[in-house]
DNA sequence: CGAGGGATTGATACGTCTCAAAGCATGTGG
DNA sequence: CCACATGCTTTGAGACGTATCAATCCCTCG
């Protein structure tokens, strides 16, 4: 079950399944309900996580209540890797989900395991790439382009009809827009028959070339 | 000569001077003229850099010519660390500057050197923090807030009168704004006596509390 | 003194946000 | 099985913030 990173590109792949074995031995499985917090913003970084089932979102809320979503994580993805001692973004379950939780100490004790080291390095690098792309997107692209790129990214690894695991508000907070603007752009893209929404949570790309162009 | 990271915060410190010794032995010094390219976007990552004198900027230009500045690097800062095999941002000298250039191979051969490893890790983590902050700034803050935060960050490690090593266009491209908007915000902040510009390249903070509030 | 590049200012257009209402799903209890 | 309540999404009208285009200003340097 290989779902896509938002804004993923060709370079972006998840660590191989072999990793799961190592983590599985080290960690414990936890389940979270929809919107349940997995860790809070400003919590100490003590654990490493891997999505088993469902989707996880990271987000940061500013002192005056504005929210920025950092990213969405799908089955197989590692998350909770952060540069400092504190989580600068919190993590919440988007939908009910299952997560493998590993103590950092256990990971360190296991250091030297080539696969695991490599997987963590790869995940960190991915994280950084994503952030770089995110900066360019938020700094220099229009609402239409952001929404187009987002759909493109979600579709990247799904064939045919795509599922949208997150609601409009989450898309908006990821894209640095309001929910209304996201909605309008979706309607607009659908009006131009670039993309089609059979329901609010699923879509299909109708004009890949046009969308590609938009997302470029 | 300790200048600040834009958007830097308390956690953000440069690797200690001892590092310079290790790199100094491994690398060679290069000088670059104002606006000279140090490496290009999409170049292979083969070298590691440290600013010795002057200021360096990284930037990415999209296919249709829009530019996003990634960050500014000051003396002591390591740059050129990237998540993948290619530079996703190019690097240019902001003003004439001197840079220590080290082949990656040399760094790897030197691996195990505790100071060096630690410095590279620290620089990578810093990079990621910066990116996270940048995302929130671009996603959720107004022009006024962005400009305020920028000045705050530049001032962070300078006392009294602050120097602005970059021009308005660079500020704009870093903040995801146009040059005119940056200019207007600066005029506005100066009009409110929050900050004062004796010349276009230097300023002094007059109401730190207000600016702090704005940048929060 | 004049030329050139950056910075500022002004007028206006445009894009996105805000506020408000209506539409549409989903789930619950009668 | 329907009626309704709830939360999410869409749509609309208008306000606001930032971009655009153009002119002027200012400083530096020749």
The rounded Cα B137 to chain-centroid distance in angstroms is 15
The string of pLDDT tens digits covering residues A87-123 is 999 999 998 999 999 998 888 887 667 888 888 889 9
Residue B31's pLDDT band, with cuts at 50, 70 and 90, is very high
pLDDT at A177: 98
> Does A83 sit within 8 Å of B128, measured CB to CB?
yes
Given pLDDT bands bounded at 50, 70 and 90, which one contains residue A3? Answer: very low
Contacts of B216 (CB under 8 A, 6+ apart): A62, A63
State the average pLDDT for chain B: 89
List CB contacts (< 8 A) between B11 and chain A.
Answer: 84
Q: DSSP per residue over A87-100, as a string?
A: -SSEEEESSSEEEE
Is a pLDDT exceeding 50 seen at residue A5? Answer: no
pLDDT digits (tens, 9 = 90+) for A14-30: 544 556 677 888 899 99
Inter-chain touch B68–A135, beta carbons under 8 Å: yes
Q: Determine, for residues B83 and A129 on separate chains, whether the beta-carbon distance falls below 8 Å.
A: yes
CB pairs under 8 A between A and B: 91
For strand C, which nucleotides have at least one atom less than 7 Å from a protein CB? 6-11, 15-20, 25-26
CB proximity B29 to A under 8 Å: no
Q: Does residue B101 have a pLDDT over 50?
A: yes
For tokens 């609010």, the residue is A200
Pick the CATH number of A141-215 from 1.10.10.10, 3.40.640.10, 3.20.20.190, 3.30.720.120: 1.10.10.10
Which residues of A fall within a CB distance of 8 Å from B45? Answer: none
What confidence score (pLDDT) does residue A17 get? 53
Per-residue confidence (pLDDT) for residue B216, from 0 to 100: 84
Beta-bridge partners for A103: A47
Domain segments of chain B: what residues?
A: 7-138, 141-215
The answer to whether A131 faces chain B, any CB pair under 8 Å, is yes
Looking at chain A, the whole-number percentage of residues with pLDDT higher than 90 is 75
Burial class (CB in 10 A: 0-12, 13-18, 19+), B69: buried
CATH number of B7-138: 2.60.120.10
Q: What average pLDDT does this structure show over B39-65?
A: 95
């Amino acid at each position: 079950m290989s779902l896509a990173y938002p804004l993923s590109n060709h370079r972006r792949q998840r660590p191989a399944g072999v990793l799961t074995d190592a983590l599985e031995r080290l960690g414990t499985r936890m389940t979270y309900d929809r919107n349940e917090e997995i860790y809070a913003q400003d919590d100490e970084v003590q654990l490493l996580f891997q999505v088993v089932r469902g989707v996880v979102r990271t987000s940061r809320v500013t002192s005056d209540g504005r929210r920025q979503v950092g990213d969405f994580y799908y089955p197989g993805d590692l998350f909770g890797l952060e540069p400092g001692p504190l989580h600068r973004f919190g993590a919440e379950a988007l939908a009910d989900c299952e997560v493998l939780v590993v103590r950092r100490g256990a990971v360190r004790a296991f250091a030297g395991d080539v696969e695991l080291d490599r997987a963590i390095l790869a995940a960190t690098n991915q994280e950084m790439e994503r952030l770089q792309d995110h900066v360019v997107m938020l700094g220099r692209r229009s609402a239409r382009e952001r929404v187009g790129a987002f759909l493109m990214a979600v579709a990247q690894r799904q064939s045919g009809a795509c599922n949208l695991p997150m609601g409009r508000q989450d898309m908006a907070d990821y894209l640095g827009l309001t929910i209304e603007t996201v909605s309008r752009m979706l309607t607009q893209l659908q009006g131009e028959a670039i993309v089609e929404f059979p329901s609010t949570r699923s879509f299909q790309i109708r004009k890949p070339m046009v969308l590609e162009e938009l997302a470029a």
